[in-house]
Structure formats: C-alpha cells, structure tokens
Amino acid sequence: MASISPYKNWKKYEKYLISGQWHVHTNYVDGENTVDEYCKRTVKLRIPLIAFTEHVRKKLTYRYHDLVGEILTAREDYPELIILTGCEAKVLEDGSLDVSEDVLRQSEIVLMAFHSFPADKDKYVEALKTALSNPKVDIWAHPGLFLRNKNFSLRDEEVEDILEKASRENVLIEFNEKYQLPVRSWVEIGKKKGIKFVRGSDVHKIRDLK
C-alpha cells in the first residue's frame, strides 16, 4: 500500500513549477535588487510566480518580518503575480536546518541547501536524508553542488536511494540554472523515481530573470 506522502505548500502552485522563478535573493542579503524591482520585472517578462527565498540563519542580520512586509505590499501592487515568501536554509551537520521557527512560520516555500559542510561523504548522505524527511522542506536547492565542489561522487544506487526518498517526501528537485544542476544522470534517475522538478535560477539581480 502506498504510504501517505506529506503535504507541501508548493502543491498549491504546482502548475507553475517550471514557468515560475522559485529561487530569488534580494538586497536583504547578497542580491542587488528590491522586492518591488523584482516584481516589476517579473510581470514584464510574464513570469507567473516569484518566490523570495532569502538566505537565512538561526540568527539573522536583518528582520525577516520586514522582507515579508515588502512582499505583502507587492501583492497589492502586482495582483497579477503570485508572490511567495520563502527562505534558503543551510543543512547543518546533524541534518537539521539553520533557520528559526519564527522564519519557518512565515515562509511559504523552504529551500534546503548544502553550503559549508564537512568534507565527509557519509556524513553528507546522512544529513541529506534527514533534511529530505523534514516536513518543512519544499525544495532541494542546487542539488549536487557540494559533491561537485568537494570532488565526491555517488554511486547510482546511492542516488536512487536519495531521489526515491525525495519523491516519497514530496521534496522538489531544483533545476538550478546558475550551476547547471542536477547532472543529467540524476535527472534520468529522478524521472524514474517520479521526482518533480522546479525551476530555480538562484537569481541575485533582475538581469538574471528570464
């Protein structure tokens, strides 16, 4: 019997997984543009959905609530556009996410990603599986970037195992345009496992939008 897979927020916007922009950084951290500038440009390009997935930490250097405020204002200014709050949270060594409960409560879309992490493949796989089973996680951002940077590779069986888990947990795999990830073999395996993909360009300025 098929197990019941967890509900995820992205399901409400499933028809925009490829046409939307699901990975965007603003001037709150290392992006160049404001929420308003992004929305204006997104409407112009006829992109139907934009998710503001700002970098977060448990201790923030900015007020997440302010970012949410700008997003709420933009929803009034651009009623034709779907504008989502979100965050990109780093996976920690134990597989938990470097994000506060407060931010999670305000985020409609949660990206998890590996940034700094020990150069240990087994630890990575274990943390990845834990993160994939986190009910808050919607998207695995730039999948495989850590492996590429550390010169690690996974056997096909390991990839199958991981992507099967992602599929079961309803975690989307990002087509990351900035890093050209995931690699083709992962896409092929993912399709067999019933994975759903989502477009995320890791946009840092409006010129990156397309």
Residues that bind Zn ion (CB under 5 A): 88, 113, 202
Nearest approach, Cβ of residue 80 and Zn ion (Å): 26
Helix (H, G, I), strand (E, B) or coil at 25: coil
- Nearer Cβ to Zn ion (67/193): 67
Q: Give me 20's structure tokens.
A: 């939307």
Q: Residue 187, class by beta-carbon neighbours within 10 Å (0-12 exposed, 13-18 middle, 19+ buried)?
A: middle
CB-based closest residue to Zn ion: 113
Nearest approach, Cβ of residue 42 and Zn ion (Å): 17
Consecutive H or E run containing 172? strand 172-176
User: Contact, 13 vs 199, CB < 8 A?
Assistant: no
Residue 18 identity: I
- Nearer Cβ to Zn ion (5/180): 180
Consecutive H or E run containing 88? strand 82-90
- Nearer Cβ to Zn ion (81/112): 112
Consecutive H or E run containing 22? strand 21-24
Nearest approach, Cβ of residue 6 and Zn ion (Å): 23
- Nearer Cβ to Zn ion (145/189): 145
Nearest approach, Cβ of residue 189 and Zn ion (Å): 22
The span from the CA of 28 to the CA of 178, in Å, is: 20
Nearest approach, Cβ of residue 87 and Zn ion (Å): 10
- Nearer Cβ to Zn ion (108/202): 202
The residues facing 176 across adjacent strands are 181, 200
